[in-house]
Amino acid sequence: MIPRQTTALVESHCQALEACADAMGAAGIGLVPVTGHVDRLKRMAYDLRADAAKGIIPDRYTMVGERDMVETNPTAIKAALERREVKQGAHLLRRYGIEIDKVDTVEAFDIKLRAQACPLSDRLILKSTLMRAGLIS
């Protein structure tokens, strides 16, 4: 197909994906950086348009290297810590002097918390909050 035709073919779908992402984001759903629903839907729209611009009718969406993007993206980590559902976790991190500069495993993060004499109740709050935010895995 001609790129102009494929672009016209996918544009309404891209707009629908972006509208869905915006509505979910406004409702506070799927806000995890990179792996959340909002980012995924927007990335799908982008990929559809990119393929269409090459004259390719898109037929699949490939998710490559997402964990690396989160682990090494300080902007994504900072944004995740500033979201309202993570505020309590960010407050506890400051209380215990722990900084998140990359995505840790739950086990590695627990070791950091124990080293700071973080009580079990706060460790559970931090781990569940940061897991939902995609900052520990």
Predicted TM-score of the model (pTM): 0.48
| Close Cβ partners of 110 (under 8 Å, ≥ 6 residues apart) | 123, 127
Say yes or no to pLDDT of 99 above 60. yes
Phi-psi bin for 119: left (phi > 0), alpha (psi -120 to 50), beta?
beta
The encoded tokens of residue 135 equal 């900052």
SS3 of 98-121: the string is CCCCCCECHHHHHHHHHHCCCCHH
Q: What is the pLDDT of residue 65?
A: 45
CA distance 106 to 110: 6
Q: Where are the domains of the chain?
A: 3-64, 68-132
**pLDDT at residue 21 above 90?**
yes
